[in-house]
């Protein structure tokens, strides 16, 4: 039914209670939800418009050196915030590599985290899809699945999480701040998204009525600013989701890696943190052979979920290159073709 209730609560508390009602869905920028509603994939009974809630659209620099990104901060506003981009350049680069300028102007922080998979069978209501309609099966298996997951998938669902933004965020230990009927809590972004297992319809740890109020980057995340990159391989130069991507951040002392952060995008149903690969680099010189070994570790558990074996090797190479780029140093400005392997001369993005 397209008959839904629409409410625009004035306060966070009202939003939470409205959001707890059966069939309620929050509306932020709408760039994902509206498409899903038009296609009949999402059929909310109550649309709770939080896009104008006060106080959630700020970028706050906290006393302890952390930064809090309000849930409603627009992707473009965040990427173009000078202070933010200076401290977290790979996050800015990831945002600017996603979607189009128009979409980034509308899309919000929380909406980006909660965007749904781009699996074509999920979007096609005539297809079997365990995520959309639990228990119906998964038509992506044995279907058109060139771009599907190679890590963390299950026989119930082989989709990927499409976000670029989340990839450097998870690498930098971002924390998701949540408010809800049972009060406030926080979860690391790494633990926020769930792997499909046998319940691919459950995508995050949120329970009904819970709202994301912000995403926090801890103080130490800015310590990587000099050596942090996002790299995204895609099927056209701009305006395409990642075939696979990687965020890499290093802290170097005297040419030796003292801390490494690595995450992959487009390979799993969540932004994929590669902790073993990170650990392998500590104490090593910033050298390509170690980057290759780390990349191999990052993909050690990868298996094709269909006609997508190429993504495993591709992802390995992306991680290797991303580490190399991070070691070489963050460029002064986000490149004109953000996160692209191509240089941005004459970019036209």
Partner 1 sequence: MSDITLPARPTHMRMGSSIGQNLTRREGVLKTTGAARFAADNHPAGMVYAAIAGSDVARGRVTSLNVDAARAHPGVIEVMTPANAPPLAMDPDAKLHGFMFRLDLLQNDRVRYHHQPIAVVVAETLEAATEGAALLAPTYEVEPARTDLGADDSFVPAAVGAGHTASESHGDVEGGLDAAVVKMEATYDTPAQYHNAMEPHSIVVEWQGNTLSIDMPTQGFAMTQGRIAGLFGIPAENIAIRSPHLGGGFGSKALGVGPQILGIMAAKLVGRPVKLVLKREQMFGPVGHRAPTRQTLRMGTDGTGHLTALSHHARTATSSFDDFFEPAANSSHSLYASPAIATSHDAVRLDTGTPMFMRAPGEAPGSAALESAIDEMALACGMDPLVFRLANYAEYEPTTGKPFSSKALRECYEQGAARFGWAKRPMEPRQMRDADGMLVGWGMGTAVFPALMFQGQARARLLRDGTGVLEIGAHDMGQGAWTGLAQIAADALGLELDQIEFRSGASHMPDAGIAGGSAHTATAGAAIDGAGADVIGKLADLAMNDARSPLFGAGNAGVIARAGRLYRRDDEARSESYGEILARAGLDDIEGMGTGAGDPVLRSSYAMHAHGAVFAEVKVDPDFGQIRVTRLVGAFAAGTIVNPRMVQSQYYGGMIWGVSFALHEHAVTDKRSGRVMNANFGEYHVSVNADVPSIEAIMVEERDEHVNALGIKGVGEIGITGTVGAIANAVWHATGIRVRSFPITLDRLL
User: Interface with ligand SF4 includes 41 (CB under 6 A)?
Assistant: no
Question: Could you tell me if 160 and 203 are in contact, meaning their C-beta atoms sit under 8 angstroms apart?
Answer: no
| 115 counts as binding ligand SF4 under rule CB under 6 A | no
**Which of residues 114 and 119 has its CB atom nearest to ligand SF4 in the complex?**
119
**HSE-CB for 337 with a 13 A CA cutoff:** 18
DSSP string, 232-280: EEESSSSS--EEEEEEEEEEEETTEEEEEEEEEESSSSS-EE-HHHHHH
Q: Is 157 in the site for ligand SF4 (CB under 6 A)?
A: yes
Stretch that binds ligand SF4, among 53-61, 76-84, 151-159, 253-261 (CB under 6 A): 151-159
Which of the listed partners (ligand SF4, partner 1, ligand FAD, none) does 122 bind, with a CB threshold of 5 to 8 Å by partner kind? ligand SF4
Using CB atoms within 10 Å of the CB of residue 231, give its burial: 0 to 12 exposed, 13 to 18 middle, 19+ buried. Answer: buried
127 binds partner 1 (CB under 8 A): yes
The DSSP 8-state label assigned to residue 194 in this structure reads P
Interface residue list for ligand FAD (CB under 6 A): 25-33, 35, 50, 71, 98-99, 103, 106-108, 110-112, 114-115, 162-165, 211-212, 241
Residue with smaller CB distance to partner 1, 6 or 342: 342
Q: Please, are residues 264 and 315 in contact by the beta-carbon 8 Å criterion?
A: yes
- 334 binds, options ligand FAD, ligand SF4, partner 1, none, Cβ within 5 to 8 A by partner type: none
Residue 77 DSSP SS3: helix
Q: How far is the CB of 257 from ligand FAD (least distance, A)?
A: 28
CA distance 158 to 197: 10
Determine contact, residues 165/29, Cβ cutoff 8 Å: no
Candidate residues 6, 239, 282, 289; the one interacting with partner 1 per rule CB under 8 A: 239
Piece of the chain touching partner 1 by CB under 8 A; list 14-22, 63-71, 77-85, 230-238: 230-238
Does residue 130 interact with ligand SF4 by CB under 6 A?
Answer: yes
Binding mask 158-177 for ligand SF4 (x = CB under 6 A): xx------------------
* Chain centroid to CA 141: 23
Task: By CB under 8 A, tell whether 50 contacts partner 1.
Answer: no
Give the C-alpha separation, 344 to 71, whole Å. 30
Q: Report, in Å, the least distance between residue 310 CB and partner 1.
A: 4
Determine the number of helices (DSSP H) and then strands (DSSP E) in the chain: 13, 12
Which entry of ligand SF4, ligand FAD, partner 1, none binds 163, CB below 5 to 8 A by partner kind?
Answer: ligand FAD
Q: What are phi and psi of 110, to 5 degrees?
A: -65, -40
Of 46-54, 67-75, 151-159, 318-326, which part binds partner 1 (CB under 8 A)?
318-326
Using CB under 6 A as the binding rule, whether residue 232 contacts ligand SF4 is answered as no
């Amino acid at each position: 039914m397209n008959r839904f209730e629409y409410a625009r609560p004035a306060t966070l508390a009202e939003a939470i209670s409205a959001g707890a009602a059966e069939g309620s869905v929050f509306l932020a920028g709408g760039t994902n939800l509206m498409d899903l509603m038009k296609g009949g994939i999402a059929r909310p009974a109550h649309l709770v418009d939080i896009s104008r809630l006060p106080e959630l659209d700020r970028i706050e620099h906290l006393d302890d050196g952390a930064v809090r990104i309000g849930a409603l901060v627009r992707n473009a506003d965040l990427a173009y915030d000078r202070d933010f981009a200076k401290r977290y350049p790979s996050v800015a680069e990831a945002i600017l590599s996603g979607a189009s300028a128009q979409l980034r102007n509308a899309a919000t922080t929380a909406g980006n985290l909660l965007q749904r998979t781009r699996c074509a069978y999920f979007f096609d209501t005539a297809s079997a899809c365990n995520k959309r309609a639990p228990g119906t099966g998964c038509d992506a298996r044995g279907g058109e699945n060139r771009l599907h997951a190679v890590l963390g998938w299950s026989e119930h669902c082989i989709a990927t999480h499409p976000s670029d933004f989340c990839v450097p965020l998870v690498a930098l230990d971002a924390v998701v701040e949540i408010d809800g009927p049972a009060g406030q809590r926080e979860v690391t972004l790494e633990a926020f998204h769930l792997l499909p297992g046998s319940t691919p319809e459950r995508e995050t740890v949120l329970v009904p009525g819970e709202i994301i109020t912000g995403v926090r980057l801890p103080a130490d995340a800015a310590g990587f600013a000099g050596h942090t990159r996002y790299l995204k391989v895609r099927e056209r130069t701009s305006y395409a989701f990642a075939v696979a991507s990687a965020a890499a951040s290093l802290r170097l002392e005297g040419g030796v890696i003292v801390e490494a952060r690595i995450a992959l995008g487009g390979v799993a149903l969540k932004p994929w943190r590669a902790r073993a690969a990170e650990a392998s680099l500590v104490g090593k010189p910033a050298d390509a052979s170690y980057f290759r070994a780390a990349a191999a570790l990052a993909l050690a558990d990868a298996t094709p979920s269909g006609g997508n074996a190429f993504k495993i090797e591709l992802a390995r190479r992306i991680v290797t290159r991303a580490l190399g780029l991070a070691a070489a140093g963050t460029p002064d400005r986000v490149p004109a073709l953000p996160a692209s392997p191509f240089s941005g001369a004459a970019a036209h993005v």
